[in-house]
Structure 1
Amino acid sequence: MKASRTNVTTVGLMAVAGLVAAIGAGPALVSGADHLDAPTVKTDKRIDITDIYVARRGASRTSLILNVNPLTSPAGAKTAAFRPSALYEWKIDTTGDAIADVAYRIRFGPVATMSDGTVQQSFEIRRATGAAARTNAWSGTRIVLGTTTRAGRSPRIATVLGGGSAFAGVRDDPFFFDLVGFTHFKARLLAGSTDEADLFSDFTGTDTFAGTNVSAIVLDVPNAAVGGFGRHIGVWATVSIRQNQQWVQVERMARPAINTVFNNTKAEKEAANRLRPTDDRAFDHSNVIDTLDAIGHVLDVNHRPRYTAAQEEAIANVLLPDVLTFKVGDASGFLNGRRPANDVIDAELSLLSNGQYTSDGVNANDKAFLTVFPYLAAPHL
């Protein structure tokens, strides 16, 4: 069967994700999808994006999820909060040029400690379009006024002006992965081992992120608000903080692990978090090609076909700029957006091994996802 261009692109991207994850690019890879990926965000988990998700919700809505505060323990869930002085944003490109056409901006009020020891914050969401969406600024039309959900309480759901729902609060971390097994696999691979029993001996099927929480922002909006049904969009998230009386972007994420995998030094990771997608090719193209060349060497040793130079170039052009692509209204999951339940790791392992290794043993989240808003499971307390 002749593969279509779309199928080749999808398989190429998935293969790169899996192969790169296996090779690794330095110790920071053990942080997970985007957990604690660069120096600035390591100083304050409240501004560290762990994952973002984009998915169809019914025939007429799109859901956006932005998670921060990685590895929050059950004991820490009661006091987990968002940073009041930070600006959280979803950026949405509706025209295919990697420039934001729509921005959803979220800010939180001061942290109030309640009588039972839990905390609560007010929050506001604004929507900006056009040139105003391209900047990192607290501007736009106010569409939500809400209050975060206290740990252990039923979700407080705010109404969105123009239709939709909004939520903010601590939830179970939806990312699932045997990180311990992978860490040992990577170390042995980098040490030169090619013995399969040795490489995979520490995969136990234990979800490293089981029992941990994140602080989640969940927003459902009408499809028309993000480009309209059938529109191909690109989504990414940013966090900015005040420096020298202006908003400075210090964190950015779209596809899982792009910064972690392709940028090797702390300086590179920090710089990548401050870029706009339009800067990605100039900044990261050589890193992507170098990583694919390293992957090619491993494939050669294991008597597997490697990428040609032309294929490497094509894959780099798919990966960069780094945005999470989504066809509005399409129900399929990753790589069409990303649903919390999507088992990205298994797909990557299968493609890495030409179907010989099909699972890290962790096939689902440790808690069942909700079928209704806000979709993420209740936190561990």
Structure 2
Amino acid sequence: MKNFKFKLLTAGIALSGLVVLIAADHLEAPAVGATTADITDLYAFEGANPDNTVFVVSVQSSLAPAGNNISFDEDVMIEINIDNDGDLIEDRVIQAVPRGDNMYFFGPGTPSNTGLNSTVLDPDSRTSVQISGIGDEFTTTDNSGISYFAGLRDDPFFFDFSQFNQVVQGPTVAPNGFNNPGTNDFANQNVLSVVVEVPNSLLGGTFAHPAGTGVQVFNVWAEAKRKQ
């Protein structure tokens, strides 16, 4: 068993099976950004099979397009946290740990402890997939119907970051606001992504949306935790 301590956290989201919800967090503060544990995006959405949910966590923003030599950090575990009862404490986790040319996945399972520190789930339950480089599409599906991917991919985040910096300085700097169309400053950049598609039956329960919409949801957030 290997212990990991908390390093970074993205924004959390509530997920129903009816909508696509994302959280993005590019270009962190200097003490956090540009590290191998920098989470750039969290995506969670209904799979092509509506009985499945797809989770995508990306790290290391703005990688060069030719960065096939860029790799996941073996000292960093990516953890997807699922809250089934609305108390904002993880009830189930999915963990991804890189070793060499492979990404090892554990869970979904009940964590032995919650919060800032994590312990890798039962190693006998692990599944691995070869890490994909540019042009590769290595995937694995285990006996429980969970599918896995890990590797380098084009950054899906679209943001006119340069114009944003002008807009926040006020109308004297950017009198016309945002451009239409804007410029995607993340074009031709890559991220390292892990993707897990999980049957909903393995994710635990749901709770009523706190806004009283009548929709059943669970909360999802992602962390990158560095080995102690």
TM-score under structure 1 length normalisation? 0.47
Deviations 1:6-48 (A, max 9, x none): xxxxxxxxxxxxxxxxxxxxxxxxxx9412314443352x211
Higher normalized contact order (CA 8 Å, seq sep 6+, divided by chain length): 2
Aligned partner (choices 105, 111, 119) of residue 125 of structure 1: 105
Unaligned runs of 5+ in 2: 1-22, 207-214
Corresponding pairs, count: 195
What letter is aligned with 2:62? Answer: L
What do you get for the CA RMSD once the two structures are aligned? 2.5
Higher helix share: 1
| Matched residue, 2:138 | 156
Residue 216 (str. 1) matches residue 193 (str. 2):
yes
Secondary structure of the corresponding residue to residue 168 of structure 1 = strand
| Matched residue, 1:239 | 224
| Matched residue, 1:62 | 53
| Matched residue, 1:207 | 184
Equivalent residues of 2:84, 2:205 under 8 A apart: no
Instruction: Point out the structure with max Rg over C-alpha.
Output: 1
Deviations 1:82-133 (A, max 9, x none): 00111110011011100000000111013xxxxxxxxxx2111111534526
Give the share of equivalent positions with the same residue, in percent: 30
Residue 51 (str. 1) matches residue 34 (str. 2):
no
What letter is aligned with 2:150? Answer: A
Aligned partner (choices 155, 159, 171) of residue 177 of structure 1: 159
User: How far, CA to CA, are the matches of 1:85 and 1:161 in structure 2?
Assistant: 28
Residue 140 (str. 1) matches residue 122 (str. 2):
yes
Equivalent residues of 2:81, 2:90 under 8 A apart: yes
| Matched residue, 1:107 | 97
User: How far, CA to CA, are the matches of 1:122 and 1:129 in structure 2?
Assistant: 21
TM-score under structure 2 length normalisation? 0.76
Q: CA deviation at 1:143?
A: 4.0
Aligned partner (choices 35, 41, 47) of residue 26 of structure 2: 35
Q: CA deviation at 1:226?
A: 1.7
Equivalent residues of 2:159, 2:186 under 8 A apart: yes
Q: CA deviation at 1:140?
A: 3.2
Q: CA deviation at 1:188?
A: 2.2
Equivalent residues of 2:108, 2:203 under 8 A apart: no
